[in-house]
Amino acid sequence: MTSQSQSSLTKSRIAISIIFLCYGLTFASWASRIPTITEKFNLDETSLGALLLMLPLGSFISLPLAGFLVAKWNSKTVTKLSINLYLLSLFTIGFVENIYILGFVLFCLGLMGNMLNIAINTQAVGLEIYFKRNIMATFHGMWSLAGFAGAAIGAFMIGADVLIKYHYAIIFGSGIVAAWFSFNWLLKNDQEEGGDKPLFALPDKHLVLLGIIAFCSMLAEGTMFDWSGVYFKKIVNAPEKWVGLGYTAFMISMAGTRFLADNFTKKYGIKRVIRVSGMFTVTGLLLSILAPYFVTALLGFFIVGIGVSSVVPLVFSAAGRTKTMSSGVALASVSTMAFFGFLIGPPLIGFLAGWMNLQLSFAFIVLTGVATVILAGKIKVE
């Protein structure tokens, strides 16, 4: 890569942060209006589940395509394309009146969302190479921060009876302006680092290792996303108005820790931070399982948030520095394995809960933290 001035690198960091913010805000805006969509189309649980399946289906289809396009073109071009189409997909949802068309638009939302995920993380890896230090977790913290903002805006819009088409039009307009403002500052030459690397290649042992670690972390993360409220309601027996606090505690600690993780990584290294993260995940889950009372479970979920916060950003950072293939293809390979963890975690917990009970099924997730602790020591730092 060619050298760049400190000023241009700072601008690139701001630009990448803006895209992460737009990404998180768009996703949270969609998620916050799922109840509105359910009511609008009069969906039962089965129909809603089938509709929501279109989102991960689009994400899955995009995984090999995103890596190929980032390697063939560059991450800046793919970022610009995908953020525009991602925002446009959200905007379109507000005007759809046919359930089948909505399913197709959600497929596009998942497709463009994951393409943006690969492209903007490749940008972040490229900037890390320029900075010669870890800054990936901070970018993921921006995504989490925007997620909070999007959820809050969505709650306000619902409370104020703002139609979904106007809500999404506001997000679309503000997102497009912010994204276009950042485009000129995105890195231009990220692909030069791996210009002679293959567009398609099987992941090597190290990338598989990183993928397994990401799989474990995302399995735990997906479980916390989907089952925290149910756990607080059925196991903790929290009052109805407090059942969402477990999820809130998890999200707050995850977002906050991401803004601190880069400094910890600089001081202690990726291996140690990931290993300690696994320990936090194990500790938090065990506390919630063995002492399923409101305060202890709340503290446990908060600790789990600390545990899973940094693993995926650091794994992405390590994967993007591989010497065997381009950053985009490497990130797509690791993301594929991580995606399966996020996808199968919630239904797996549901199956185990039906076989045993929800409290014991959470004990299975402890094993993901144990695996993270064991595997962290095998990571090679490029």
Q: Position of tokens 């403002």? A: 181
Q: What is the pLDDT of residues 37-73, one digit of tens each?
A: 988 999 886 788 788 889 888 988 888 888 889 888 8
Please say whether the beta carbons of 39 and 79 come within 8 A: no
Q: What is the 3-state secondary structure (H, E, C) of 202-217?
A: CCCHHHHHHHHHHHHH
pLDDT at residue 210, rounded to an integer = 94
pLDDT at 96 > cutoff 90? yes
If we measure between CA atoms, which residue out of 47, 55, 61, 125 comes closest to residue 86? 55
Q: What is the pLDDT of residues 298-315, one digit of tens each?
A: 999 999 999 999 999 999
Alpha helices in 73-204 (DSSP H): 75-93, 99-131, 136-159, 164-183
Q: Which one is predicted more confidently, 54 or 328?
A: 54
Structure tokens at 43: 């969906």
How big is the chain, counted in residues? Answer: 382
Categorize the per-residue pLDDT at 195 as very low, low, confident or very high, splitting at 50, 70 and 90: low
**Alpha carbon distance 56, 221 (integer Å):** 15
Q: Structural domain boundaries of the chain?
A: 6-194, 205-376
Please say whether the beta carbons of 324 and 197 come within 8 A: yes
**Which CA distances in Å does 108 have to 43, 51, 115, 272, 364?**
21, 13, 10, 38, 33
CATH top class, domain 6-194: mainly alpha
3-state class (DSSP) for residue 111: helix
pLDDT at residue 108, rounded to an integer = 97
**Alpha carbon distance 155, 167 (integer Å):** 11
pLDDT at residue 197, rounded to an integer = 57
Q: Which one is predicted more confidently, 285 or 46?
A: 285
Please say whether the beta carbons of 158 and 40 come within 8 A: no
Query: Burial of 200 by CB count in 10 Å (0-12 exposed, 13-18 middle, 19+ buried)?
Result: exposed
Domain 205-376 coded CATH 2.40.170.20: no
**Alpha carbon distance 124, 103 (integer Å):** 31
Same fold flag, 6-194 and 205-376 = yes
Please say whether the beta carbons of 168 and 37 come within 8 A: no
Average pLDDT, the chain: 88
The whole-model pTM stands at: 0.85
